[in-house]
Amino acid sequence: MLLREVEYAKPASVAEALGLLAENDGARALAGGQTLINVMKARAASPDALVDLNGLDELKGIELAADGTLTIGAMTTYSELMASAEAKARPILGEVCATIADVQVRNRGTLGGNVCSNDPTNHLPPLMCAIGARMTIVGQAGEREVPAEEFFLGVYMTAVGPGELLTRIAIPAGKHDGFAAVTLGADGTCICNAAASVNGSVRVAIGCVDAVPVVITAGSPDEVAAAVRAADLDPPSDVHASAEYRRHLAEVLATRAAKEAAAR
Amino acid sequence: MDVTVTVNGHTYERDVEPRKLLIHFLRDDLDLTGSHVGCDTGNCGACSVIVNGTLLKSCMMLAVQANGATIETVEGLSADGQLTALQQAFHEHHALQCGYCTPGMLMSATALLRENPRPSEDEIKKALQGNICRCTGYWNIVEAVKAVAE
Ligand SMILES: Cc1cc2nc3c(=O)[nH]c(=O)nc-3n(C[C@H](O)[C@H](O)[C@H](O)COP(=O)(O)OP(=O)(O)OC[C@H]3O[C@@H](n4cnc5c(N)ncnc54)[C@H](O)[C@@H]3O)c2cc1C
Ligand code: FES
Ligand code: FES
């Protein structure tokens, strides 16, 4: 497919990238391109200019601090995360990334792009909400940190405003995590998914049932199903699942993820 | 924009519009038509190539993003006229029917065997997940890769 005409720049620093984005309202950041290029083919969006983040070492790398906090650069690919010794500090991250699409997509797609695109069927938005991730956003005005729960604002919308970039994701230490999904074929698009983390109480984030992940807390895994029911979800109906079936899946998958989390 | 790439050992310099996808640059500008366009949505893997050692789908990347890169396509596998062991195994195990998916399958399996010369059957299947074949039912493709791995 021939894309609409577009300008292209590959900045060498985050400061330069922010300058390019500020200069042009129609400019858009290009990360792994595994969503954006398709969106451009479909003309669902036709940016005037692409600011390619692939040359920015500042957005790469995974660091593990003494207190167990992982700091992951936005431009880290799924494959890089899966291969990282540091990232094993929170094993669920690599486990979930390994189930996203296929090798080729994992080699290009980035953690930053996954959360910034905030497709309601994506794997990482619910996971980030469940494990208490914090996103660092930078713009001309400076830097701020936003908890995952406040980061996802709507379908394809996040706290990253025009002219801003997500630079890194900080994830606290922990290992009592779980993830469950019903997908279209092995490692396919999620029909419904749920991520859970147990730290005293259970925290579950359910994907595919609303514009943003729905976060639910419960005292124990056995109480999760009732909590999901009480949340009165109003999921969409589509060719893959009716709203009613998705509501059922939400309950089952949230419970499954919570039990997996508690058992580790 | 000026783009310089090395594809299968040859260096090419071309003026490329930023909107051109890498697959179209390879096929239309460089006349390397071995890599195919199956879906143009990143799903089928027929356009898979190896860029700077990384397997990717060339319909999901701009040609200008490959500036300075070393690219391997299916044409490079038997550049000396000699089939690779993998290609030979595809031939012997009847791992293709119409052949449309084959260039992508070969590149994905090549990338796998480089990283993991002795993959298990499950590892082979996982590595080929991004490549769709509408003819073979996959069985013989997996058999061919297994034969090289053994
Ligand atoms: C065949 C196929 C199957 C897929 N299946 C799944 C799946 O099952 N689950 C899943 O989760 N994903 C899936 N994906 C999507 C994939 O994971 C994408 O990689 C991901 O959604 C976007 O990441 P990206 O790095 O490619 O971002 P891009 O496509 O480059 O960008 C996406 C959006 O985020 C913005 N953006 C990116 N990085 C930043 C940043 N640092 N700061 C500000 N804005 C930024 C871009 O401007 C753009 O609007 C699939 C993709 C394909 C092609
Ligand atoms: S043509 Fe690129 S994945 Fe199908
Ligand atoms: S042999 Fe026809 S698509 Fe695979």
Domain B85-149 top-level CATH class:
mainly alpha
Contact B139, B128 (CB under 8 A): no
What residue in A sits closest to B124 (Cα-Cα)?
A103
pLDDT at residue A49 in the model: 98
Considering the four listed CATH numbers 3.30.300.30, 1.10.10.10, 3.40.50.300, 3.30.465.10, the one that applies to the domain covering A64-171 is 3.30.465.10
Mean pLDDT, contiguous 10-residue spans, chain B (150 residues): 98 98 98 98 98 98 98 94 97 98 98 97 98 97 95
Question: What number is the ipTM of this complex?
Answer: 0.98
> Which architecture does CATH list for A177-263?
2-Layer Sandwich (3.30)
Distance A77 CA to ligand 3 centre (A): 30
- Say whether pLDDT at A31 is over 90: yes
Task: Specify whether domain B2-76 bears CATH 3.40.470.10.
Answer: no
pLDDT at residue A5 in the model: 97
Query: In chain A, positions 21-40, which contact chain B (CB-CB < 8 Å)?
Result: 33-34, 37-38
pLDDT at residue B77 in the model: 97
Taking one residue from A and the other from B, the number of pairs with CB-CB distance under 8 angstroms is: 77
Closest ligand 1 atom to residue A45 Cα is 49
What's chain B look like in SS3? Answer: CEEEEEECCEEEEEECCCCCEHHHHHHHHCCCCCCCCCCCCCCCCCCEEEECCEEEEHHHCEHHHHCCCEEECHHHCCCCCCCCHHHHHHHHCCCCCCCCCHHHHHHHHHHHHHHCCCCCHHHHHHHCCCCCCCCCCCHHHHHHHHHHHC
